Amino acid sequence: MGKTSTSLWLIACILGCAFSPLSAEAQLTKADKKVIKKTLKSETLYLRMDAPCISGEHDFGTYLRPLVQISPEDANTAEAPELKVGFFATSTIYRGIRINDPVNFDELDLEADEGTVEIELEGVESADGERTVIEMVQIYSLDDFHKAFDLAFARRPLQEEHDDWPSEIKAAIADRKLIDGMSKRQAYYVTGTPESIETSEENGLQIEIWNLRTDKGLQMGWGLMRKKRVRGLPASISFTDGKLVGRKKPSVDELDLDG
């Protein structure tokens, strides 16, 4: 092989390595899968984010499909595809499990060659009976998994990670209650992500209003759709300079006689 051919061959090898998405070794092994399952099954976990999913039906029963994606670097909620809601509904968004809800691992679907780990979760305690599924992406090693795991889950209630927070604030968060004086983060641990936010300024003070979701959406189940409410949440909450100062109760139209 001449010098020119050798040089071209080396360049091709270098470029091939540089732009190859994965090497043969950059893949989760069977042993890695065992470690992942053991980590997920070891204890009750607490979600660091809301975990909406797609709830649907097909010929073989009901299914859940993830909307939340967690990589080793960040977490996001994917834009939902067009959903069908009606008498013959086949799919809808369900928000049964929220931030700081306790969950147990239920099922795992790991695609090592694609670097995805789909995790089905079941709510316990305050979230008893709720279900969701999340997806970890770009998981090519145990280190990748542990980074994504730490973004998705806590091993204790989120308020307990803040030693400097007053005990009454922690107790309120544990009971999913809002009290005046809460910071936005403290309120977020109770309410989850608001449906919309309005900001303004009055007399030099920053005003922020969170319009909250007061229902969990529709849950599919063998030809039935059940709309569940989020119990205890007001229609909106207001912050002045980052502190909770007011709550607007749901309207009479939102009266829940069975909740």
**Cβ(221)–Cβ(191) under 8 Å?**
no
Sequence ranges of the domains in the chain: 18-156, 164-254
Q: pLDDT tens-digit profile of 36-45?
A: 999 999 899 9
pLDDT confidence of residue 88: 57
Token reading at 186:
């403290």
**3-class DSSP state of 152:** helix
pLDDT confidence of residue 216: 81
Could you give the count of Cα atoms lying within 13 Å of 229 in the half-sphere of its Cβ?
A: 13
What are the strands of the beta sheet with 102-111, ordered from one edge? 75-77, 68-70, 131-136, 116-123, 102-111, 45-47, 153-154
- DSSP tag of 166: -
Show the low-confidence residues of the chain (pLDDT under 70): 1-25, 58-61, 79-89, 218-231, 249-259
CATH, domain 164-254, list 3.30.1450, 1.10.10, 3.10.50, 1.10.260: 3.30.1450
Torsion (CA) 19, 20, 25, 31 in degrees, nearest 10: 110
Gyration radius from the chain CA atoms: 23
pLDDT confidence of residue 127: 86
Ramachandran sector of residue 12 (left: φ over 0; alpha: ψ -120 to 50; beta: rest)? alpha
pLDDT confidence of residue 3: 52
**Cβ(98)–Cβ(84) under 8 Å?**
no
Helix, strand, coil content of the chain in percent (nearest 5)? 25, 35, 40
- Whole-model pTM: value is 0.80
pLDDT confidence of residue 217: 75
Token reading at 127:
């979230």
pLDDT confidence of residue 256: 46
pLDDT confidence of residue 35: 94
Q: Which of 193, 190, 256 is nearest to 52 (CA)?
A: 193
Token reading at 81:
């595809």
Partners of 210 in the beta sheet? 197, 237
